[in-house]
Structure 1
Amino acid sequence: MKIKYFQDSDTLYIELRGAEIAETRDLDENTTVDVDHEGQICAITFEHASRRTDIPHFSFEQIAA
């Protein structure tokens, strides 16, 4: 999983898994989803991310099983 924030364009890109992208689908005018050939979600892109997400307070926590 990779998360990239492009401050110059205020775009948040979340790659859930590395796979060949077959199609990009619009969820709304500022959100797209990349899917593979089986229709599984590979990545999500958020435009205007600082207004739509809490990106300045991003944290990651892995919980042991």
Structure 2
Amino acid sequence: MISLTRLNGDAFWFNPIYIEKIQCNPDTTITTTHGKSFVVKESEEIVIKNMKRFYREIGLVRIVNKAGEEE
């Protein structure tokens, strides 16, 4: 899970596996795979950085990197 902040200042935890897209216009809007949208204070860059850290922590990045390797 990653920590995010709504525009009203309320912090919440979000599972980044469900992120379909991130837009900045100018507020950062996250759209889930279920079509629900969240507007957060964090920039796109911060959200992406936190997503990548989460994927590394759960081992998802290693799986994706190894998928392209030849044996």
Question: Which band: TM-score by shorter chain?
Answer: 0.3 to 0.5
Q: Which has the higher contact order (CA 8 A, sep 6+)?
A: 1
TM-score by length of 2: 0.31
Rg larger in structure: 2
The structure whose residues are more often helix, as a share, is 2
The structure whose residues are more often strand, as a share, is 1
